[in-house]
């Protein structure tokens, strides 16, 4: 009674990793939670207060989202992007994941996915019955596609419509795309629609995050929300912002929204106004300071002759490759690491890499962000002593992983 298209979706390796983790914990063993990635920080107090103040809001809201919230989001995005977005260019959803799923349902064409890509892009494209083209990328290009690599695929299927997913800062690689202009020129040339997944953009370690929307606003959908920078993944609020030339697409999304989730929870939308109206630069800078320091600690202490990694540039992740290991799959390697060291990681095969590539995603969020942030508010240089004190699991897990990489 279940459709083949759903039955055939392979369960994510996360489930296997979780099962082994639980078994280890039941045996009383320590598990380092480097597999799952979510913000280690708390939602800012005044945003939580706004949620409390608005708990009484019990009416359905407009399916496109609360006008005042769309207005503050349009202003916020306009400030960063310098393109004049209006409230009508914004659509609010219960997390960007749901909006991306609806985009896959309405889009009539082929999907371009760079390797690596976030775990949900592929299954969502399959459920939308869209053909997927994987674009193999290179470490030296920060794991992002070049214009030429995109064009090569387009030239094989001329006349088709394409939707490219671009995610910078990237989950899983932790890298930022630095060839946006080149990609935008190819996108313009072939009229490619771009989903620019910017959910980690506020957590870019360097200033001046650039979006492909700066070069190609006409066919770029900016996708972001509260989940990462505001520590509010469980609140489920995300949004798309797009220019007038995508009004038809926006209207179709509205129809799908009205037939599925109706509108996002009203108290959450009211609270989100405070998230965008108030200045949270201090909170964001403190979060970034800690994430950068912890990410660089992991990078500096893991990279070796046995492990190649690119230095993290934003978000929660980095992507080590074990060059002297030879398991039948990266999944198998992750199981071995977990059993022998207690370090949980996700295999690169979940992100589109060939299973023979001994590459993994490491999430460096296994620490109590609230205590860490409170304790280092005036500290510019977060050194190894502070990391040992406030992120002991990171230090111990990295040591164990390094030792494992040196074993034969």
Ligand X SMILES: Cc1ncc(COP(=O)(O)O)c(C=O)c1O
String marking each residue 143-172 x if it binds ligand X according to CB under 6 A: ------------------------x---x-
Q: Give, as one character, the DSSP assignment of residue 87.
A: G
- Rounded to a whole number of angstroms, the minimum distance from the CB of residue 96 to ligand X is 4
Non-local CB neighbours of 266 within 8 Å, separated by 6+ positions: 54, 57, 58, 59, 60, 61, 66
CB-nearer residue toward ligand X: 73 or 199: 199
**Residue numbers 169-188 binding ligand X by CB under 6 A:** 171
Given 75, 97, 400, 402, the residue binding ligand X (CB under 6 A):
97
Q: Please, are residues 264 and 93 in contact by the beta-carbon 8 Å criterion?
A: yes
**Residue numbers 209-238 binding ligand X by CB under 6 A:** 225, 227, 233, 238
- Choose one: 92-100, 180-188, 267-275, 301-309; the region binding ligand X (CB under 6 A): 92-100
Q: What is the DSSP string of 270-301?
A: HHHHHHHHS--HHHHHHHHHHHHHHHHHHHHH
**Pairing of β 343-344 and β 317-318:** unpaired
40 binds ligand X (CB under 6 A): no
Distances (CA, A) of 341 to 229, 301, 397: 31, 16, 8
- Choose one: 19-27, 95-103, 149-157, 360-368; the region binding ligand X (CB under 6 A): 95-103
CB-nearer residue toward ligand X: 50 or 197: 197
CB-nearer residue toward ligand X: 118 or 205: 118
Q: Which residue is nearest to ligand X (CB)?
A: 95
CB-nearer residue toward ligand X: 225 or 348: 225
Cα–Cα dist 364/367, whole Å:
8
Q: What is the CA 120 to chain-centroid distance, rounded?
A: 10
Instruction: Indicate the length of the chain as a whole number.
Output: 408
Total residues at interface with ligand X (CB under 6 A): 12
Q: What is the CA 103 to chain-centroid distance, rounded?
A: 17
Instruction: Using alpha carbons, select from 315, 295, 304, 290 the residue that is nearest to residue 372.
Output: 290
- Binding stretches for ligand X (CB under 6 A): 95-97, 118, 167, 171, 197, 199, 225, 227, 233, 238
């Amino acid at each position: 009674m279940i459709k083949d298209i759903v039955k055939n979706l392979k369960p994510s390796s996360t489930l296997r990793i979780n099962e082994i983790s639980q078994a280890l914990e039941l045996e009383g063993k320590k598990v380092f939670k480097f597999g799952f990635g979510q913000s280690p920080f708390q939602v800012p107090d005044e945003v939580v207060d706004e949620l409390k103040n608005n708990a009484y809001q019990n009416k359905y809201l407009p399916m496109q989202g609360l006008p005042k919230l769309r207005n503050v989001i349009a202003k916020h995005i306009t400030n960063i992007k310098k393109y004049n977005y209006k409230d009508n260019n914004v659509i609010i959803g219960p997390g960007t994941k749901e909006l991306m799923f609806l985009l896959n349902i309405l889009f009539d064409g082929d999907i371009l996915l760079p390797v690596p890509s976030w775990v949900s892009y592929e299954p969502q494209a399959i459920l939308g019955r869209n053909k997927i083209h994987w674009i193999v990328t290179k470490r030296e290009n920060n794991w992002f596609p070049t214009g030429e690599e995109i064009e090569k695929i387009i030239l094989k299927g001329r006349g088709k419509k394409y939707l490219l997913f671009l995610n910078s800062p990237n989950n899983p690689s932790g890298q930022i795309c630095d060839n946006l202009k080149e990609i935008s020129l190819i996108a313009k040339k072939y009229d490619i629609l771009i989903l620019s997944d910017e959910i980690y953009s506020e957590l870019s370690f360097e200033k001046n995050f650039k979006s492909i929307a700066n070069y190609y606003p006409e066919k770029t959908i900016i996708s972001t929300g509260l989940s990462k920078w505001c520590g509010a993944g469980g609140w489920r609020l995300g949004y798309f912002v797009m220019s007038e030339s995508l009004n038809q697409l926006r209207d179709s999304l509205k129809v799908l929204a009205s037939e599925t989730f109706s509108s996002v929870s009203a108290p959450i939308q009211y609270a989100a106004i405070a998230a965008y109206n108030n200045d949270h630069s201090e909170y964001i800078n403190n979060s970034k300071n800690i994430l950068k320091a912890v990410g660089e600690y992991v990078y500096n202490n893991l990279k070796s002759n046995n492990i190649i990694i690119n230095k993290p540039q934003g978000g929660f992740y980095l992507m080590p490759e074990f060059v002297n290991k030879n398991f039948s799959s990266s999944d198998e390697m992750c199981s071995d690491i977990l059993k022998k060291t207690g370090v949980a990681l996700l295999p690169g095969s979940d992100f589109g890499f060939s299973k023979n590539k001994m590459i993994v995603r490491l999430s460096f969020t296994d620490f109590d962000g609230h205590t860490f942030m409170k304790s280092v508010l005036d500290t510019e240089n977060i050194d190894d002593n502070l990391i040992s004190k406030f992120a002991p699991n990171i230090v111990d897990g990295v040591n164990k992983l390094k030792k494992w990489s040196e074993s034969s």
